[in-house]
Amino acid sequence: MNADLASWRDGAARSAIVDFVRRVTTDGSDDYVDPVDRVAVADNDGTLWTEKPMQIEIGFILQRLAAMAEQDPDLRAKQPWKAASAEDYAWLGGAITKHYGGDDSDLKVLMGGFVRAFAGMSAEDYLAASGEYLRNGSHPTLGRGFRQCAFGPMVELLRYLEAHGFTLYVASGGDRDFIRAISDEAYGIPSERVIGSSNALAYQEDEHGASVVYQAQPDVFDDGPVKAVRIWSRIGRRPILSVGNANGDIPMLEFTGGPSLPALRLVVLHDDEEREFAYTDGADELLDRASDKGWTVISVRNDWTTVF
């Protein structure tokens, strides 16, 4: 992958990126930033890879829930096992859509199934299972493997930033260890630089010493204000560049820069029904704020010559 933004059309978004990178890397510039502080954070679902018709992680959870329901007929009568067994993607996708609309009821039911789905599994087994799902599965409508669902221009942006001394992090509302299974291969971002949601882990001694094992309860839902808090907790620095696509990314974008560092805030607008998907649900507040504050909006349709 080259580092020259080859898939980005000339335009406001590309110019904003190139100009910002030039300013923070030019010695003597008022906006010069030491390499150690050149931190960039990117949301995952809908920012680094596609999140429609439903987040890829949901398919992984579904597969596991369906396998559980196969073993236990009682579960097949209950959500979310019922939807999983029936491949009722409308119910499942709807849980997420409703969440972004402010109604968490189905998401809570889904998460209730999720926390039970992986309870008792070691973190390493979960990582391996995620990796297997991602290697073997493919997107339901785009006709490509999951590992090819990353947005090519975003990966180019990551390489471009890296070539200019930036350190890259994923900061996702999605599950941290699920993303870790793909982040290095898809984005060149190693597991220690993936920040995300997680179920609770517990320490268990075993024949090898000890392991950490998933519990049937949530721990962190890394979205909204929590994203900013966890970026600090994990990095101990503010990002100077951030990119997101949903209302839950607003705090991450607001936290960028701060009193002493410059900031570039990027928002991915999904407006390309032909090549990807066109939607603004769950992004209304973000797009309003981007407009109010002059944040840079990336149009999938206009700014990218290719999407994948």
**Site residues, a copy of itself (CB under 8 A):** 36, 123-124, 127, 167, 176-177, 180, 190-192, 194, 198, 201-203, 205, 208-212, 225-226, 228-229, 232-238, 251, 253-259, 263
Give the ranges where the chain is alpha helix by DSSP (H): 12-25, 56-71, 73-76, 81-85, 89-100, 105-117, 123-136, 152-163, 176-187, 225-235, 250-255, 284-293, 300-303
Task: Write down the least CB distance from residue 209 to a copy of itself, Å.
Answer: 4
Pick between residue 189 and residue 297 the one whose CB is nearest to a copy of itself. 189
Task: Write down the least CB distance from residue 194 to a copy of itself, Å.
Answer: 7
Pick between residue 99 and residue 176 the one whose CB is nearest to a copy of itself. 176
What distances in angstroms separate CA 216 from CA 108, 199, 213, 219, 306, one per listed residue?
13, 7, 10, 10, 41
Task: Write down the least CB distance from residue 170 to a copy of itself, Å.
Answer: 11
Pick between residue 139 and residue 230 the one whose CB is nearest to a copy of itself. 230
CA 244 to CA 266: how far, in whole Å?
7
CB 275 within 8 A of CB 7: no
Q: How many CB atoms lie within 10 A of CB 36?
A: 9
Pick between residue 153 and residue 257 the one whose CB is nearest to a copy of itself. 257
Task: Write down the least CB distance from residue 57 to a copy of itself, Å.
Answer: 16
Task: Write down the least CB distance from residue 259 to a copy of itself, Å.
Answer: 5
b (16+ CB within 10 A) / e for 199-226: bebeeeeeeeeebebbeeeeebbbbbeb
Pick between residue 80 and residue 251 the one whose CB is nearest to a copy of itself. 251
Task: Write down the least CB distance from residue 91 to a copy of itself, Å.
Answer: 31
CA 58 to CA 308: how far, in whole Å?
21
Pick between residue 62 and residue 261 the one whose CB is nearest to a copy of itself. 261
First-last CA distance in the chain: 13
DSSP 138: B
